[in-house]
């Protein structure tokens, strides 16, 4: 018979809509509205997993997000596999395939369960004590074995097939939790017209009202009140209702992160709909109505499948119409379990109530239940459970003043336990609010707030329904800036409990395994052992025993652990304190955190206007900052080396075409522009004529090179500054900083024009011949337009700033045209150059050509500790300038001291050997280790034009070592190389003026 | 004489085709003129939107002026209006020290409109785009995902203009299309 | 994510800003007049207090203006922000003092 434990009536499930999914390959039938847990229970399945450490059989402990035990792998299709889902949270639907975790080879027979027999070995701190030595065993032996044996779930093998969305949102009042307190808070806030967001992790709003089937509010049923409240909220434009949305992190300035599960519950979601949406809400005020978690009781073998929380038994019966068992024993130290027992009895189940409290402390609720014909035992303790993969009986005994009486076994197939309630103060604690211990309620409650928030209802330790509604309403009104309060009439709630820690027992303490933390398999004995070993701080106990460190964040275990520690240390509980609550409140998928930032949206990929042309012409690309630059243009059959050799020769012998659009550009404008440039650069600018260019060198205040680039004076009050590709934002920030904060009196403005201009470098002896037919309004003759000058005119009819500059050492031009004309002008130049064999080249050839000339690249020859003199550029410094950024530091003792590394060339003895960039340099390769290192190789290439390898290096006192042979590390040893001038090609420099 | 067939035409990085669903429409904007105007102490002047408060804009047809900071305005005009706009600036500011830089090719514009436009922008823009916080006439530099943008809301319509630097345009466009799809 | 009150734009999210370190360290008018010790002090030594700290921020992805803020380095609270060139109204903690 399908669903043998489905009650004949009741529950919120849609019995007209049956659904099917699989659990470990077995088909499970349920109804729409079920969770995986409720459907499994409807089919009598209690054994759903093995525990983390001991591989003990585990069942379903709770009905919600605090579930520590029932963790499943959920497969929703290819690329949609997720481990560690709580069965109590996953909404059951057609097409899901779920599997249990931590079992091998099968759930029923698990090899790892031998750990349970060896449990005396697996005590607190086991990992620390056992796997200490030798260190290498961690990586090779211990860790792989532990991982294989433990392991929560299986990592997916293919990329996540789902889409995830992100949303920044703002509101006046964020209400977290849609139970009675949260609904009342949202109603009160919404009435003021303020923007309200109400979020709840459940598919339906209502919280406890969803299973408080007998309750009434203001004369109507709880369900009718709930429906009316949601209808009213839905009617407000200013209210956003977010079901299936968990607030998991509470950050600075009321920044609250929530995940909305958008489509997991849908069999065929709308095409393109995201699986989850991360909400980053900035709320003026927050109301925390997050409810409370029920505490398990700590007794031997309390982890037996079939043993669950009392309120959860009630939820499965009332909300899902499922009987977790036919014969249920409730065991409690508080009043709330009586409501569960009454509902179970009313549902036609056999019920026994075991109360740990003496008769005098529970007489009223006991009497009520006895009137229903339920046996109620009071003044009891629990010795243990019977059964293995499913509870078969509860062993109880009377207990007074620590004396345990005769045992009695109560046969059962389900146990509902309640050790009281713990307010869910996680978000409050994350907000940095101070918790305050309340002895009467045996709980840490929200105390002094650190942010604009307030707690209401059970989260504030208020358990009575009418009071939950009233505190919620008041909190919502207050958060919205109103003062309205409201009294609610509601049916009474059974509240109050006596805190118990681990239960008294007459069993051999060495054999008792009473679990405190179900997910991390921490027992009361482990906690006591930790304290005997000297761990007294609760933060240390947590880490040593791992209690509260699992994915459930100690929701069910926290107060029991604190209580046991408090009792063992004989210190009051507030003196023990509590551990810090950290985000996330419940596990969050990586997908939700990543959001849309994957594939093409992972990072902006910056491409120039000429990028597509390069791609069409076979370019390989390299990443430079966020830019993608053409690296080299291989022809069919060429490798990179062959392509670069060809490109390098073409530039020296004919003409090459290079996309320099990524160079940073800044327009410096104003009457004080030259003065500003004088202060920012080492060079002199005052006398630079309009139409002339100068190589500029920029330092940080510490005297080290920050950036370099050609600067053109377009007008008396206007400079066209270029920077390195990667340095563009840095230079702009650096200039703006000084301009705004040190010299606000200067009449200068800076504008980034990096992307206004496409820059086409035409380099080589034939460069002039190629561009001449395309250029209008500029006399290109050597006399009219010499090296290091700039002219404004037109090219192909487009306005241009034409630079005569060269980073190759040959005749060259850099054509700056407005970016939208870039590709058209590039194509025109390419066509005009075809008779000359014009060759497009990439950054690799650009690097080789400039290295042949000994030109530095900032970031390659410099590393933030290199001065102008170190790289032989001291001559750039304007001697007459009293001050510029970095000048004073050039006189610092360590900067003027001898022994600084200086830029030199290196010629390897073996002409074909290309040294490794970064390779270390020593004088004597036979000296003892550690060797004295003289410097390192900064650039190294094979130069076809020089017919040999070339390298640049920074070497201590290098300029004094010309002609000396030094030794450079190679992957196999050392290679000898001679120190030489860094200019390898055309040392006289005549070609550039051709 | 230069062969006219060699004359370059503006080639924008995004196509012109809008991407649309019922709730949000993302359309690349046509080419136009953009000038970055920098001037201090011009608040008293009313022309060219110089009197606007910081983070406010005015618009008429293709012309707009957006004050992005205490001394920074982004001026927009149609393609053919460059000289006219420059002349207006000179007329308005005369000898007062100012800086005008043509950024027409640096900036790329997009429009996003429809009932979900603000929600889609909020996929990557952390600002409050509600009517109270970002009413008609708002304009500011901000972020969209990992790109810097200028966000303009010329009118009370759910229509926003996004301007970014040229090389960020494909990212910004793809981001908005994805955001409109999943808003 | 913090909220920072730009003196020009109002309250904006932290991601639009960049911090530029301790504020009110004026660049000497004539650095060459400083001896090596005083210059090193200017370049490298900062107060690094536990408590109220005056620091430089720039609204990088907003109005682009540099301004100053007083932030509590212990609580991460911004106490006030003010324009460059102005003085804070709160006394600043100085670990060097
Ligand atoms: Zn600002």
Report the pLDDT value the prediction gives residue B14, as an integer from 0 to 100: 87
Task: Tell whether A744 is within 8 A of chain C (Cβ).
Answer: yes
Identify the chains in contact with A, defined as 3+ C-beta pairs within 8 A: B, C
Query: Which among A255, A280, A888 has the least Cβ separation from residue C39?
Result: A888
Which of these ranges, A544-558, A762-776, A909-923, has the smallest mean pLDDT?
A: A544-558
CA of A895 to the centre of ligand 1 (A): 39
A464 pLDDT tier (thresholds 50, 70, 90)? very high
Per-residue pLDDT of A597-622, as tens digits, reads 999 999 999 999 999 999 999 999 99
% chain A with pLDDT above 90: 87
A109 pLDDT tier (thresholds 50, 70, 90)? low
CATH number at residue A469: 3.50.50.60
Task: Tell whether C45 is within 8 A of chain A (Cβ).
Answer: no
Residue A288 and residue A427 share a domain: yes
| pLDDT surpasses 80 at B104 | yes
In a domain, A415, yes or no: no
Side-chain-side CA neighbours of A938 within 13 Å: the count stands at 27
* Nearest by Cα to A416 from A492, A333, A520: A333
CA of C65 to the centre of ligand 1 (A): 6
Report the pLDDT value the prediction gives residue C90, as an integer from 0 to 100: 83
Report the pLDDT value the prediction gives residue A550, as an integer from 0 to 100: 81
Query: Which among C26, C39, C66 has the least Cβ separation from residue A737?
Result: C66
What chain C holds in terms of domains, given with CATH numbers, is 1-26+47-97 (3.30.2270.10)
Report the pLDDT value the prediction gives residue B11, as an integer from 0 to 100: 87
Domain limit, last residue, from A479, A508, A526: A479
CATH number at residue A116: 3.10.20.440
- Enclosing H/E stretch for A771: helix A767-771
Distance from CA of C5 to the nearest CA of B (A): 13
In a domain, A498, yes or no: no
A83 pLDDT tier (thresholds 50, 70, 90)? confident
Residue A181 and residue A285 share a domain: yes
Sign of the Cα torsion A898, A903, A904, A906 reads positive
CA of C4 to the centre of ligand 1 (A): 10
Give the burial string for A250-289 (b: 16+ CB within 10 Å, else e).
bbbbbbbbbbbbbbbeeeeeeeeebbbbbbbbbbbbbbbb
CA of A664 to the centre of ligand 1 (A): 24
Query: Which among B7, B168, B175 has the least Cβ separation from residue A596?
Result: B175
| pLDDT surpasses 70 at A231 | yes
What residues of chain C have any CB closer than 8 angstroms to a CB in chain B? 1, 8-9, 12-13, 15-16, 61-65
Domain limit, last residue, from A126, A143, A178: A126
Residue A18 and residue A64 share a domain: yes
Report the pLDDT value the prediction gives residue A758, as an integer from 0 to 100: 98
Interface contact B183-A167, CB threshold 8 A: yes
Interface contact C16-B126, CB threshold 8 A: yes
| pLDDT surpasses 70 at A125 | no
Q: Looking at chain A from residue 138 to 167, which residues have their Cβ under 8 Å from any Cβ of chain B?
A: 163, 165-167
> Across residues C47-63, what is the average pLDDT?
96
Residue keyed to tokens 């530095």: A856
Interface contact B126-C15, CB threshold 8 A: yes
- What is the number of CB-based contacts under 8 A between chain A and chain B? 148
Report the pLDDT value the prediction gives residue A259, as an integer from 0 to 100: 98
- Name every chain B residue with its beta carbon within 8 A of the beta carbon of A757: 105
Chain B nearest-CA residue for C61 = B142
CA of A261 to the centre of ligand 1 (A): 36
- Name every chain B residue with its beta carbon within 8 A of the beta carbon of C65: 69-70
For residues A198 and A173, give the distance between their C-alpha atoms in angstroms, rounded to a whole number: 8
| A572 neighbors A541 (Cβ within 8 angstroms) | no
Chain B nearest-CA residue for A800 = B8
At residue A668, φ and ψ (nearest 5 deg) are -105, 115
Residue A172 and residue A104 share a domain: no
Report the pLDDT value the prediction gives residue A242, as an integer from 0 to 100: 98
For residues A117 and A513, give the distance between their C-alpha atoms in angstroms, rounded to a whole number: 12
| pLDDT surpasses 70 at A383 | yes
**Which of C13, C18, C62 should we substitute to test contact with B (largest number of B Cβ atoms within 10 Å)?**
C62
CA of B54 to the centre of ligand 1 (A): 9
Per-residue pLDDT of A930-957, as tens digits, reads 999 999 999 999 999 999 999 999 999 9
* Nearest by Cα to A903 from A984, A819, A788, A800: A984
In a domain, A877, yes or no: no
Interface contact B126-C61, CB threshold 8 A: no
Q: What SS3 class is residue A467? A: helix
| pLDDT surpasses 60 at A731 | yes
Torsion over CA of A856, A678, A865 and A970, rounded to 10 degrees? 0
> Across residues A730-752, what is the average pLDDT?
97
Interface contact C8-B70, CB threshold 8 A: yes
- Name every chain B residue with its beta carbon within 8 A of the beta carbon of C16: 126, 142-143
Interface contact C66-A740, CB threshold 8 A: yes
pTM (predicted TM-score): 0.94
Q: Which domain holds residue A38?
A: 14-126
Query: Which among B54, B55, B148 has the least Cβ separation from residue C61?
Result: B148
Report the pLDDT value the prediction gives residue C97, as an integer from 0 to 100: 45
For residues B127 and A536, give the distance between their C-alpha atoms in angstroms, rounded to a whole number: 46
Interface contact C65-B126, CB threshold 8 A: no
| pLDDT surpasses 70 at A122 | no
Distance from CA of A166 to the nearest CA of B (A): 5
Per-residue pLDDT of B13-48, as tens digits, reads 888 788 888 899 999 999 999 999 999 988 788 899
- What is the number of CB-based contacts under 8 A between chain A and chain C? 53
Residue A175 and residue A109 share a domain: no
Report the pLDDT value the prediction gives residue A105, as an integer from 0 to 100: 55
Q: What is the residue-wise DSSP string for A549-601?
A: -STTTTTTTHHHHHHHHHHHHT--HHHH--PPP-S-SS---HHHHHTT-SGGG
For residues A874 and A868, give the distance between their C-alpha atoms in angstroms, rounded to a whole number: 5
- Name every chain B residue with its beta carbon within 8 A of the beta carbon of C13: 126-127
CA of C70 to the centre of ligand 1 (A): 16
In a domain, A81, yes or no: yes
CA of C6 to the centre of ligand 1 (A): 5
Residue A286 and residue A174 share a domain: yes
Interface contact A740-C60, CB threshold 8 A: no
In a domain, A336, yes or no: no
Cis peptide before A112 (omega within 30 of 0): no
Task: Tell whether A893 is within 8 A of chain C (Cβ).
Answer: yes
- Name every chain A residue with its beta carbon within 8 A of the beta carbon of C5: none
Terminal-to-terminal C-alpha distance of chain B: 55
| A391 neighbors A307 (Cβ within 8 angstroms) | yes
A402 pLDDT tier (thresholds 50, 70, 90)? confident
Chain A nearest-CA residue for B172 = A604
In a domain, A862, yes or no: no
Per-residue pLDDT of A625-680, as tens digits, reads 999 999 999 999 999 999 999 999 999 999 999 999 999 999 999 999 999 999 99
In a domain, A55, yes or no: yes
Query: Which among A165, A282, A823 has the least Cβ separation from residue B11?
Result: A823
Residue A981 and residue A910 share a domain: yes
Q: What SS3 class is residue A486? A: coil
Residue A169 and residue A107 share a domain: no
Interface contact A252-C60, CB threshold 8 A: no
| pLDDT surpasses 60 at A104 | no
CA of A316 to the centre of ligand 1 (A): 55
pLDDT, chain A, mean: 94
What chain B holds in terms of domains, given with CATH numbers, is 20-29+106-182 (3.30.1360.120), 33-102 (3.30.70.1520)
| pLDDT surpasses 50 at A147 | no
| pLDDT surpasses 80 at A165 | yes
Token pair recorded at residue A153: 């779930």
**Which of B4, B5, B8, B71 should we substitute to test contact with A (largest number of A Cβ atoms within 10 Å)?**
B8
Domain limit, last residue, from A79, A101, A126: A126
Distance from CA of B151 to the nearest CA of C (A): 10
Report the pLDDT value the prediction gives residue A431, as an integer from 0 to 100: 96
Report the pLDDT value the prediction gives residue B41, as an integer from 0 to 100: 87
> Across residues A908-928, what is the average pLDDT?
97
Interface contact A820-B127, CB threshold 8 A: no
Report the pLDDT value the prediction gives residue A578, as an integer from 0 to 100: 82
Residue A172 and residue A103 share a domain: no
| pLDDT surpasses 70 at A778 | yes
Identify the chains in contact with B, defined as 3+ C-beta pairs within 8 A: A, C
Per-residue pLDDT of C28-42, as tens digits, reads 999 999 999 999 999
Report the pLDDT value the prediction gives residue B1, as an integer from 0 to 100: 39
Report the pLDDT value the prediction gives residue A102, as an integer from 0 to 100: 65
- Name every chain B residue with its beta carbon within 8 A of the beta carbon of A166: 123-124
Torsion over CA of B88, B89, B93 and B98, rounded to 10 degrees? -170
Give the burial string for A115-149 (b: 16+ CB within 10 Å, else e).
bbeebeeebbbeeeeeeeeeeeeeeeeeeeeeeeb
Report the pLDDT value the prediction gives residue A111, as an integer from 0 to 100: 59
CA of A294 to the centre of ligand 1 (A): 49
Report the pLDDT value the prediction gives residue A113, as an integer from 0 to 100: 63
> Across residues A709-729, what is the average pLDDT?
97
% chain C with pLDDT above 90: 85
ipTM given for this complex? 0.97
Per-residue pLDDT of A807-830, as tens digits, reads 999 999 999 999 999 999 999 999
Number of folded domains that form chain A: 3
Task: Tell whether C33 is within 8 A of chain A (Cβ).
Answer: no
| pLDDT surpasses 60 at B4 | no
Distance from CA of C97 to the nearest CA of B (A): 36
Question: Any idea what DSSP says for residue A819?
Answer: G
In a domain, A272, yes or no: yes
Residue A430 and residue A287 share a domain: yes
pLDDT, chain B, mean: 93
Residue A249 and residue A180 share a domain: yes
Task: Tell whether B127 is within 8 A of chain C (Cβ).
Answer: yes
Report the pLDDT value the prediction gives residue B2, as an integer from 0 to 100: 46
| A591 neighbors A275 (Cβ within 8 angstroms) | yes
**Which of A166, A253, A448 should we substitute to test contact with C (largest number of C Cβ atoms within 10 Å)?**
A253
Beta carbons within 8 Å of A31's beta carbon, 6+ residues apart: A6, A13, A14, A15, A17, A18, A19, A39
Token pair recorded at residue A474: 């008041």
Query: Which among A251, A736, A741 has the least Cβ separation from residue C1?
Result: A251
Which of these ranges, A174-178, A472-476, A498-502, has the smallest mean pLDDT?
A: A498-502
Token pair recorded at residue A182: 């949260």
CA of A848 to the centre of ligand 1 (A): 44
């Amino acid at each position: 018979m399908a669903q043998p434990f489905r009650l004949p009536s009741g529950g919120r499930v849609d019995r007209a809509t049956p659904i099917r999914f699989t659990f470990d390959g077995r088909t499970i039938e349920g109804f729409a509205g079920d969770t995986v847990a409720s459907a499994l229970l409807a089919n009598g399945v209690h054994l759903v997993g093995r525990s983390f450490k001991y591989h003990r059989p585990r069942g379903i402990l709770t009905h919600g997000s605090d579930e520590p035990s029932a963790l499943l792998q959920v497969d929703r299709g290819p690329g949609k596999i997720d481990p560690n889902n709580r069965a109590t949270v996953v909404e059951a639907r057609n097409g899901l395939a779920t599997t249990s975790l931590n079992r091998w080879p099968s759930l029923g027979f698990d090899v790892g369960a031998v750990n349970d027999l060896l449990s005396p070995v697996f005590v607190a701190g086991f990992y620390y004590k056992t796997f200490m030595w030798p260190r290498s065993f961690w990586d090779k032996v211990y860790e792989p074995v532990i991982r294989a044996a433990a392991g929560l779930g299986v990592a997916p093998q293919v990329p996540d097939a789902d889409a995830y969305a992100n949303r920044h949102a703002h509101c006046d009042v964020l209400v977290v939790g849609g139970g009675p307190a949260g609904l009342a808070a949202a109603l009160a806030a919404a009435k003021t017209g303020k923007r309200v967001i109400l979020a709840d992790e459940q598919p339906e709003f209502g919280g406890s009202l969803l299973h408080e089937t007998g309750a009434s509010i203001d004369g109507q049923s709880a369900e009718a009140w709930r429906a009316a409240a949601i209808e009213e909220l839905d009617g407000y434009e200013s209210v956003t209702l977010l079901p299936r949305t968990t607030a998991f992190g509470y950050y600075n300035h009321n920044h609250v992160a929530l995940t909305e599960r958008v489509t997991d519950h849908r069999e065929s979601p709308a095409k393109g709909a995201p699986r989850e949406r991360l909400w980053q809400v900035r709320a003026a005020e927050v109301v925390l109505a997050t409810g409370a978690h029920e505490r398990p009781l700590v007794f031997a073998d309390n982890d037996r499948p079939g043993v669950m929380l009392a309120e959860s038994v009630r939820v499965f019966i009332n909300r899902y119409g499922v009987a977790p068992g036919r014969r249920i024993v409730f065991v409690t130290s508080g009043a709330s379990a009586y409501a569960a027992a009454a509902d179970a009895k009313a549902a036609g189940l056999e019920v026994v109530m075991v109360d740990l409290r003496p008769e005098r402390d529970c007489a009223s609720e006991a009497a009520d239940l006895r009137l229903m014909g339920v046996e109620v035992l009071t003044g009891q303790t629990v010795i243990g459970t019977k059964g293995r993969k499913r509870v078969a009986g509860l062993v109880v005994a009377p207990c007074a003043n620590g004396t345990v009486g005769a045992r009695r076994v109560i046969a059962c197939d389900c146990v509902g336990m309640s050790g009281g309630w713990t307010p869910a103060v996680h978000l409050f604690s994350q907000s940095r609010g101070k918790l305050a211990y309340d002895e009467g309620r045996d709980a840490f409650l929200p105390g002094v707030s650190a942010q604009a928030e307030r707690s209401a209802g059970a989260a504030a330790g208020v358990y009575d329904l009418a009071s939950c509604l009233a505190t919620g309403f008041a909190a919502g009104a207050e958060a919205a800036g109103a003062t309205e309060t409201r009294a609610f009439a509601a049916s009474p709630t059974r509240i109050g409990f006596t805190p118990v820690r681990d239960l008294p027992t007459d069993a051999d303490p060495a054999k008792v395994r009473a679990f405190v933390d179900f997910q991390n398999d921490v027992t009361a004995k482990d906690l006591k052992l930790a304290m005997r070993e000297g761990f007294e701080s609760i933060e240390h106990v947590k880490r040593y025993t791992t209690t509260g460190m699992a994915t459930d964040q100690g929701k069910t275990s926290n107060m029991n652990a604190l209580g046991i520690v408090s009792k063992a240390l004989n210190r009051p509980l507030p003196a023990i304190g509590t551990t810090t609550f950290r985000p996330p409140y419940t596990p969050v998928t990586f997908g939700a955190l990543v959001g849309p930032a994957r594939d093409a949206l992972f990072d902006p990929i910056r491409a120039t206007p000429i990028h597509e042309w390069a791609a069409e012409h076979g370019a390989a690309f390299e990443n430079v900052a966020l830019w993608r630059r053409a690296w080299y243009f291989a022809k069919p059959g060429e490798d990179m080396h062959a392509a670069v050799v060809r490109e390098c020769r073409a530039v020296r012998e004919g003409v090459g075409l290079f996309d320099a659009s990524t160079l940073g550009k800044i327009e410096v404008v104003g009457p004080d522009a030259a003065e500003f440039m004088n202060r920012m650069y080492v060079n002199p600018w005052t006398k630079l004529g309009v139409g002339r260019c100068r190589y500029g060198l920029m330092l940080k205040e510490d005297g080290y090179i920050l950036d370099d680039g050609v600067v053109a004076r377009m007008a008396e009050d206007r400079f066209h500054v270029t920077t390195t590709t990667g340095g563009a934002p840095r230079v702009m920030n650096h200039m703006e900083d000084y301009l705004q904060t040190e010299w606000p009196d200067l009449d200068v403005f800076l504008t980034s024009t990096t992307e206004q201009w496409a820059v086409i470098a035409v380099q080589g002896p034939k460069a002039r011949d190629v561009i001449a037919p395309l250029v209008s309004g500029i006399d290109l003759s050597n006399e009219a337009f010499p090296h290091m000058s700039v002219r404004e005119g037109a090219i192909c009819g487009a306005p241009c700033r034409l630079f005569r500059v060269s980073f190759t050492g040959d005749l060259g031009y850099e054509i700056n045209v407005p970016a939208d004309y870039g590709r058209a002008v590039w194509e025109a130049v390419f066509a005009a150059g075809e008779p000359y064999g014009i060759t497009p080249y990439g950054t690799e050839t650009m690097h080789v050509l400039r290295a042949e000339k000994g030109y530095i690249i900032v970031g390659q020859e410099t590393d933030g500790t290199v001065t102008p003199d170190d790289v032989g550029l001291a001559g750039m410094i304007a001697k007459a300038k009293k001050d510029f950024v970095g000048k004073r530091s050039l006189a610092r003792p360590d900067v003027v001291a001898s022994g600084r590394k200086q830029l030199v060339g290196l010629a390897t003895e073996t002409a074909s050997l290309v040294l490794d960039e970064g390779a270390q340099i020593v004088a004597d390769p036979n000296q003892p280790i550690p060797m004295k290192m003289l410097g390192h190789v900064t650039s190294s290439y094979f130069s076809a034009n020089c017919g040999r390898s070339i390298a640049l290096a920074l070497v201590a006192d290098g300029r004094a070592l010309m002609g000396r042979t030094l030794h450079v590390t190679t992957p196999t040893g050392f290679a000898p190389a001679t120190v030489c001038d860094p200019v390898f090609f055309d040392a006289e420099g005549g070609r550039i003026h051709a | 004489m230069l062969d006219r067939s060699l004359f370059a035409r503006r080639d924008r990085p995004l196509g012109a085709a809008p991407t649309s669903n019922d709730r949000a429409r993302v359309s690349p904007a046509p080419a136009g003129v953009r000038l970055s105007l920098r001037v201090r102490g011009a608040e008293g002047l009313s022309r060219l939107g110089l009197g606007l408060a910081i983070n406010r804009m005015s618009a008429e047809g293709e012309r707009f002026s957006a004050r992005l900071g205490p001394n920074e305005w982004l001026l927009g005009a149609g393609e053919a209006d460059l000289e006219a706009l420059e002349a207006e600036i000179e007329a308005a500011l005369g000898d007062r020290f100012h800086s005008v830089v043509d950024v027409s090719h640096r900036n790329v514009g997009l429009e996003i409109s429809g009932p979900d436009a603000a929600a889609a922008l909020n996929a990557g823009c952390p600002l409050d785009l509600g009517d109270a916080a970002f009413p008609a006439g708002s304009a500011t530099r901000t972020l969209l995902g990992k790109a810097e943008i200028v966000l303009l809301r010329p009118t009370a319509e759910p229509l926003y203009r996004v301007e970014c630097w040229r090389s960020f345009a494909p990212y910004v466009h793809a981001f908005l299309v994805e955001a409109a799809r999943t808003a | 994510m913090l909220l920072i009150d730009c003196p020009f734009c109002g309250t904006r999210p932290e991601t639009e800003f960049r911090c530029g370190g301790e504020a009110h360290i004026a660049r000497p008018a004539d650095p060459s007049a400083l001896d090596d010790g005083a210059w090193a002090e200017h370049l490298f030594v900062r107060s690094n207090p536990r408590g109220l700290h005056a620091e430089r921020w720039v609204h990088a992805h907003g109005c682009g203006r540099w301004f100053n803020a007083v932030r509590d380095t212990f609580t991460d609270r911004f106490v006030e922000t003010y324009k460059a060139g102005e003085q804070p109204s709160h006394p600043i903690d100085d670990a060097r003092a």
